[in-house]
Amino acid sequence: MNAILVASNRGPVSFILSEDGSLSMRRGGGGLVSGLSEVAKDLNVLWVCAALSDGDRGAVRLAPGGRLDQAGYDTGALRMLDIPPATFHRAYNAVANSTLWFVHHLLYDTPNMPHFDARFRREWESYQAYNEAFAMALAEEAAHGARVMVQDYHLSLVPAMLRGERPDLRVAHFSHTPWAPPEYFALLPDDVGTELLEGILGADHAGFLTARWAGAFMDCCETVLGAQVDRRGRTVTHAGRTTRIGVHSLGVDGEALWTRASEPDVESHMAALRDQVGDRMLIVRIDRTELSKNIVRGLAAYREFLATHPEWHGRVVHLAFAYPSRHDLPEYREYTAAVQRSAKEIEDEYGTEDWDPLILNVNDDYPRSLAAYRLADVLLVNPIRDGMNLVAKEGPILSPRSALILSREAGAAAELGEHALTVNPYDVSATASALREGLVMSEGERLRRGTLLAAAATALPPHLWFADQLAALK
């Protein structure tokens, strides 16, 4: 029985099944996993996650009770749930990633989508079943009075379900995403919106990355549920229960990041990249290939910058690293293709014998990304909307002499905006101007700002972020 539990869709590791049937383990990606991995190990937390792939299912089936740590893997206490693939697919791809993610990041092309029909109802039932599987596993594993930290939009219904099973537990929910404003949240079918909000309000504590997202959640509770909201005291009272609303920004463990970024594999990537680009200035971006990251407009801004500033031709290179994500969704495959098309257009228009204006890489290569951070003169982070964005925090730590261009719609803008060059992510021309401004900024000024950015980025490392939420459950 466990005193502290974490639940999330993606766990700290995933498994790859090779053709000869063997399994290899790798670290999971994304902000949630980077934030939680070390903390969970240090505090001896039991982590409950879903099997995401055939590789994961292969590993789980050989582990007693789904406990990968008990099957000899060095994962920290970890139980992976083998949810039937069709149910998982509908819950993760159709509801969590194609619906809830789109709502919270304002991604719909509304004349066409969303479209809530009979098929959606089946998908929604799968989302309920998948949440139920998590609630049951947590109810089984938790010691009396244990604290359970439920993560993200995949598991919005778990807090209320778990409270029904185990009223002795203290439950927190944390959203790593933005939260939609009420008018946009109202795109969801009324009963679905209500169930989502009531699901999270089943927690004692509902956490968000910024005051802005917490405010949007409270606005939805008031508008959709008619709940009683105390914005100053940050509480929501509904159906006789009160949930505290918390704002917990997430930063980076700077020392651990530096240790990793100083390893020989990163250093050799730095040397190779330097060889490739010479002494030209570098504009860097690093993202999942994700619609909300706004990569296509970022490339368009670089193109406009090259068009309006020919004096920079041959003197700058843009490294755009976009590692693969959510490729089961057609929108994501199409987006990756659109990124590649935009890159090709820039190369065709401006590339010469001795100058590649753009190096796009769509493979996952963590040490290479760390090398790019270290070499950056300008870091471009221009999401349409983002819960926090850890790239904006990791960059200044590894390259304090780089200028940060930051979307005002990223949660990180609340802490970093003052020292960054902030942009409206839809304004391609303004982003192009910011690229130039970053390049011509004196090295002294970049370093002055970068030092302040790095300090802000390391202020709330993951263990403090987590400790704060645990304390809030006392």
Residues in touch with ligand G6P (CB under 6 A) = 10, 29-32, 152, 176-177, 325-326
The C-alpha atoms of residue 304 and residue 282 are separated, in whole angstroms, by: 17
Closest CB 387 distance from ligand G6P, rounded Å: 6
* Nearer residue to ligand G6P within complex by CB, 92 or 305: 92
The C-alpha atoms of residue 397 and residue 360 are separated, in whole angstroms, by: 23
Closest CB 455 distance from ligand G6P, rounded Å: 24
Closest CB 432 distance from ligand G6P, rounded Å: 28
* Nearer residue to ligand G6P within complex by CB, 105 or 147: 105
Closest CB 175 distance from ligand G6P, rounded Å: 8
* Nearer residue to ligand G6P within complex by CB, 382 or 433: 382
C-alpha 356: how far from its chain's center? Answer: 30
* Nearer residue to ligand G6P within complex by CB, 152 or 409: 152
Closest CB 152 distance from ligand G6P, rounded Å: 4
Q: Is the peptide bond before 114 cis (omega within 30 degrees of 0)?
A: yes
> Any bridge partners for residue 207, and if so which?
174, 246
* Nearer residue to ligand G6P within complex by CB, 96 or 316: 96
Closest CB 79 distance from ligand G6P, rounded Å: 17
* Nearer residue to ligand G6P within complex by CB, 53 or 223: 53
The C-alpha atoms of residue 466 and residue 472 are separated, in whole angstroms, by: 10
* Nearer residue to ligand G6P within complex by CB, 29 or 314: 29
* Nearer residue to ligand G6P within complex by CB, 176 or 248: 176
Closest CB 177 distance from ligand G6P, rounded Å: 5
* Nearer residue to ligand G6P within complex by CB, 133 or 155: 155
Closest CB 52 distance from ligand G6P, rounded Å: 8
* Nearer residue to ligand G6P within complex by CB, 77 or 100: 100
Residue 13 in contact with residue 75, Cβ under 8 Å?
Answer: yes
Closest CB 434 distance from ligand G6P, rounded Å: 25
The C-alpha atoms of residue 50 and residue 10 are separated, in whole angstroms, by: 6
Closest CB 11 distance from ligand G6P, rounded Å: 9
Closest CB 47 distance from ligand G6P, rounded Å: 13
* Nearer residue to ligand G6P within complex by CB, 176 or 303: 176
* Paired tokens of 354: 């001795």
The C-alpha atoms of residue 270 and residue 264 are separated, in whole angstroms, by: 10
